[in-house]
Structure formats: structure tokens, C-alpha cells
Amino acid sequence: MPVCEILSVGTELLLGEILNTNAQFLSVELADLGISVLRQSTVGDNPRRLASAVKEALERSDILITTGGLGPTADDITKEVCCETLGVKLKTDAEILKQLEDYFLNRGTSMPESNKKQALVPESGTIFPNKNGTAPGFALEKDGKCIIMLPGPPREIRPMFLEYVKPFLSKHSDGIIITHTVRTFGIGESAMAELAGNYLSGDNPTVAPYAKDGEAMLRIGARGKTRAEAEALCAPVLKELLEVLGDFVYGVDSQSLQESVVNLLIQKNLTIAIAESCTGGYVAKRITDIPGASKVFQCGVVTYSDEMKKIILGVSSEVLEKHGAISEQTALEMAHGVRLLGKADIGIGITGIAGPGGGTADKPVGLSFIALSDSSSRIVEKVEVLRKSDREYNRFYTASKALDMLRRYAQEFNESRKSENNNERRHN
């Protein structure tokens, strides 16, 4: 199996100004290709130190992947240093120069002189186009070693890797590893691991639990000579795990909670309207992240103040005075009000305290109420987030709970009920 190292270049990484997500992204992708990552390193924008890191890596490994330092400014030196290390010259590529000039023309400006540097390419090697920025990527191969140079911004490196670099690297891989991820919501990592039981000690496929953003996942990986062989090893284990985990599972592989919700709503022909207080538009944002959400998403309303809850959503003064804005009753009236406003099948109302201020002994930071209303029923759930000091997490997790409530509703919904609802709606 070929071995690989990842070398990230950028003083901003050594200063901690940027979190290195590229190394993780590449590691996952390389594991998928059956390429072992021996080491990840980060050095600053310093030619001497970069050169020695490149040399050391090539002594240990077959493949070196660099990220960053391909930009137009003087401290972008990765291409120059890597080419010098392998003894490859740089030349100006007329086509890339033209693309760069067009890129700036399209933006209504002329190309700054410094960007010309980005049209310099190794005399020999492979060029990976950059559809999301100005710096192309490169592969240099010499004496059995390969250096792949990729840009730093995650929005550029990710599509470039998936579209061009992954197929390029597959020739270095002598088998295939496939992985599937089972995604759950509403169960903790250790409880999920207990349910997965014996599968966790398997060798091929391997099954590993992990947790991310308040969700617990199982990663199933199988090795085979061919994709079909690896998939065949995975299939029975995946099937049994899905049964064992039941309705905690919201999706398999890259599907997000919001994608699963939008797909289910489309499938069941249901429309939604969302009223948010503490989540401030996060649920609407996540639902509309998904292309095609317009088929199911009628409207979203963000109301913080009591006044706006009354004016836009028709929440009653009585409920607000008697129970307060953070209450089951207010959540229910928000859900009901937004459903009518948006002429939707389902209304969601969310009210709570995102923090850091605003909490009381009775109603602490992290508390929220999420309500779901359709034409004939209503559900309300109390949610308490445990990482109280983290406003972003509070809002994200509360939004996830609302999405999960929608998912479970849509999953159980059957079409005959929809036509009843429609009849009823017509009578309203």
C-alpha cells in the first residue's frame, strides 16, 4: 500500500488563526482510496523550512500532498519550493494566463500584476483546474515520488480533490476501501456503540462510532480488490446495523439531517412553515441549504420580540402574559400561526434562550420549546442543551431537534392522512 504525507503551508496555521480542516478532509479521502497517511505536518511561509519539510517527507513517503501557498502574493512559495526540490522548472502557461485574465474581466477589473505568478506551471506534470478560485493545483512525478500541490481555501481544495485529484491518485492504490456512514440523531455515541455491539470488533468490514455536532455516527469500512467485493462485505453489516438502530437513523452517507427532512417532505407531498425565535433563522437556513427546498418550504419567520410574535404570527397577549415567551404555549401558538400564514401542511414554532445572557433559574440558557402543528394535531417538546455557554451550539442543536421532529413526523405520515388534512383545510 502506498504511503502518503500531508503538508499544510501557512504562517496563519502556525499562529492558530485558521483551523486546519484540509488535513482532515484529505485524510478521510485518502483512507477511502486505500492510501495510508503516515504524517500530517504544518510549516509557515518560510522557503528554507518548507524545503526541508518537503525533503524529509519524500524520504519517508511515496506521495506528498501540500495545501496552501499557491496564491498570488510574495509569501506564496509552495510551487517554487516543490519544483526546486524535485529539480523541475516553471514556465508561464498561456491558457491559464488567459483564464486568469478572463476571471478578472468577468469581475469588471483588470488582473493585478501579481496574479501573473499564478500562471506559472511546472514544465512537466499534471495541472488540476480550479473552478472556485485562481490557483490551479499540480502533480509532479519524478523518481517514483509524487508531489501534489493544492490550494489552501477549503472551498477550492475540496471540489478540486474530488473531481481531479482522486481519479489521478486511484492509480497509486492497489485495492479499494469503501466506507458508509450511518447517521443518527437522538442517541448518544456510547449508547449507539452498545447497540452496535459485536460489529465494533470486526476486521473487514470495520465499524467505528464517532460523534459530531450533537449527532452520533457509525463508520463502516470494507477493503476489497474491487468496489463490488468491498460493497458485498459491507452490505449485510450495514443492513443489520440499520435494523438495530431503528428510527434513530436519519440517513446513510453524506446526507444531512436537513436533506433527509426535505427529501421526506417532497416524497410525502407535505409543505412546511417555520417560526423561529432563539434559532433566529437557523432552521430556515438549513432547510433552504438543500436544492429543491422550494417545493416544500412555504415561509419562515424570525420573531424575537413579543410584539412581532403577536403581529406576524398572531400569538395571543394572554399566552405571552400568562406563560411567557419561552413556554410550550407560545411555541404552539407560533407553530399554529405560521402554518396559517404560510398556508402550509405543517407549522413549526421554536422559542428558547440561546444565551449567553437571558437565562433565569426557572428558564436557563439552553432551554427551548419546539412545537409542531398540523391541521388536526399538535406536538410540543422541551429541549435542554447541556453546553450552556456555547451560543452557536445551543442554536445549532435546537435547530437539529426541530429538524428531527419534522423528520419523525414525515416518516410516520401516510398519504391517506394527507387527503383528510386537505379536506379539512378546505373546510376551514
Residues 305-364 that bind its own copies (CB under 8 A): 305, 307-308, 311-312, 341-343, 354-357
Report 74-93 residues binding its own copies (CB under 8 A).
74-75
Residues 147-206 that bind its own copies (CB under 8 A): 153, 155, 159, 179, 181, 188-191, 193-194, 200-201
15 binds its own copies (CB under 8 A): yes
356: cis peptide before it, omega within 30°?
A: yes
Q: Are 274 and 284 in contact (CB under 8 A)?
A: yes
Of 247, 238, 240, 264, the closest CA to residue 184 belongs to: 247
Buried (b) or exposed (e) across 26-63, using 16+ Cβ within 10 A?
bbebbeebbbebeebbbbebbeeebbebbeebbeebbb
What is the spatial distance between Cα 411 and Cα 369, in angstroms, rounded to a whole number?
21
Three-state secondary-structure class, residue 80: helix
Candidate list 48, 106, 143, 419; residue touching its own copies; CB under 8 A: 106
- What is d(CA 367, CA 398) in angstroms, rounded to the nearest whole number? 9
Q: Which has the closest alpha carbon to 257: 388, 419, 408?
A: 408
Looking at the Cβ atoms of 236 and 356, the one nearer to its own copies is 356
* Cβ contact 222:235 at 8 Å: no
Least separation in angstroms between residue 27's CB and its own copies is: 3
> Using CA atoms, how far apart are residues 180 and 163, in angstroms rounded to an integer?
20
Smallest distance, Å, CB 226 to its own copies?
A: 20
User: In the window 230-259, what residues touch its own copies (CB under 8 A)?
Assistant: none
The one among 33, 35, 42, 326 contacting its own copies by CB under 8 A: 42
Beta pairing class for 63-67 and 90-92: unpaired
Specify the residue, 88 or 325, whose C-beta has the smaller distance to its own copies.
325
298 lines the binding site for its own copies (CB under 8 A): yes
16 binds its own copies per the rule CB under 8 A:
yes
Q: Is 420 in the site for its own copies (CB under 8 A)?
A: no
- Residue 59 is given by DSSP the state H
Q: How far is CA 179 from CA 29, 221, 224, 318, in A?
A: 10, 4, 11, 54
Residue placing its CB nearer to its own copies in the complex, 125 or 221:
221
From 142, 223, 378, 391, residue interacting with its own copies (rule: CB under 8 A): 391
Query: Would you say 274 or 406 has its CB closer to its own copies?
Result: 274
Q: Establish if 270 lies at the interface with its own copies (CB under 8 A).
A: no
Q: Can residue 301 be called a binding residue for its own copies (CB under 8 A)?
A: yes
Smallest separation, CB 123 to its own copies (Å): 25
Judged by CB under 8 A, does residue 38 bind its own copies? yes
Q: Which of 99/411 has CB closer to its own copies? A: 99
